[in-house]
Structure 1
Amino acid sequence: MSSKYKFNNPEGIYFVSFAVIGWIDVFSRQIYRDLFLESLVYCRKEKNLNIHAWVIMSNHVHLIISCKAGFILSDIMRDLKKYTAYKILKEIKESTTESRKEWMLFLFAKAGKENSNHTNYQFWRQDNHPIALDFHSNMFEQRLDYIHNNPVEAGIVEHAADYVYSSAKDYQEGKGLIEIDVLQ
């Protein structure tokens, strides 16, 4: 099995991307973005996840993360994805206003049936695509710029710091929605 896209260095800094199955635009609704953010905050406080940069797009997430010594980044990511899937699916199922409810649940159930790792629904694609970053290289800055400019490239905002669901504001203007761990 290839080690190209794994969390090989326990003390490393990683760029990760993960998407909703079928690239379903779940995060076009604020409630689902907020549920994801709550989980990120929890993982930062309780599971010792370091969040260096982040963005939530309509159907995927990009992060630059690491973890404190003695913790395992792949375990934190597994728990983050499992819990956010549970919370978001619960919210969709219980929603009385979600116009896409039946369609989304059908697709999540179909993906779950096709994947032996799931019993009912599959929310996230299996991969995280982690890429190790060297903080002192251009690659770190390139990934940081990529994350922050994703909403600009998608035509959502004109300036990266204007997109609320991103850490761009933390790097350009001050405090954003959640506390991040800025590398010096």
Structure 2
Amino acid sequence: MDIKEIYRKKCKRYNIHGHAHELTFSCYKHQPLLKNPTYCDYLSQAIMLAKSKHNFDLWAYVFMPEHVHLIIYPKVRGYSVSSILQTIKQSVSRKAIRHIKQQSVSLKKFATGQKGRPYRFWQAGGGYDRNIKSDNSVVNVIRYIHNNPVRRKLVSHPFQWHYSSALDWSGEGTGPVPIDFRVIQ
């Protein structure tokens, strides 16, 4: 057993009604799996499924090649960010692994070496979850995630990155996942 398995980082969640959440989670071993548009489509579908199942607004998102940023606002009391992420991640993992098997492509880069879970699409652990309480913080976080592809020199302007809500926020068009424009109450 790897020492990293024993001391895996745990993510503390504060499910507080009225707070938005900045969520970040990564592909298995930080591989650039989301360079594949099929997997991004699975992720878009999974977010829409989770929105309807868990009743939250999606304020912003960016799918980077090896990780994802979401800004969500749960609309009900008693929500669970862990359940929201589970719905998203499980859906994508199952579809991606099934797709790979159907294409007869090697699953080697997804292999965990574990009996109970032989393959993974997402990195183990909770990722990053930060509660956001103020409108000013929301705006700053949205700018930050939208500029992630620019900082990485993948594009010159945030709205050029296809798997992002930057185009929605610019008012010039829409990205692949519909977002909800709403102010923190």
Q: TM tier, shorter chain?
A: 0.7 to 0.9
Contact 2:62 2:70 in 1 (8 A): yes
Q: Map 1:63-142 to 2 at 5 A.
A: 63-70=70-77, 71-95=79-103, 101-102=105-106, 105-110=107-112, 113=114, 118-125=116-123, 126-137=125-136, 139-142=137-140
Provide the secondary structure at the position in 1 that maps to 2:34. helix
Partner of 1:32: 39
Normalised TM-score (structure 1):
0.83
**Which amino acid counterpart does residue 151 of structure 1 have in structure 2?**
P
- Flag the 1:60–1:143 CA change in 2: closer, same or farther, 3 A: same
Normalised TM-score (structure 2):
0.83
Aligned length: 172
CA distance in 2, matches of 1:95, 1:50: 35
CA distance in 2, matches of 1:20, 1:4: 16
Q: Which runs of 5+ in 2 are unaligned?
A: 1-8
Q: Map 1:37-48 to 2 at 5 A.
A: 37-48=44-55
CA distance in 1, matches of 2:53, 2:29: 31
Tell me the C-alpha RMSD between the 2 structures: 2.2
Q: Percent identity?
A: 27
How far did 1:4 drift? 6.9
Contact 1:49 1:73 in 2 (8 A): no
Contact 1:148 1:166 in 2 (8 A): yes
Deviations 1:103-131 (A, max 9, x none): xx223222x51xx8x52212212222100
Q: Which runs of 5+ in 1 are unaligned?
A: none
Partner of residue 7 from structure 1, selected from 14, 18, 25: 14
**Which amino acid counterpart does residue 168 of structure 1 have in structure 2?**
A
How far did 1:35 drift? 0.9
CA distance in 2, matches of 1:36, 1:44: 12
CA distance in 2, matches of 1:143, 1:151: 14
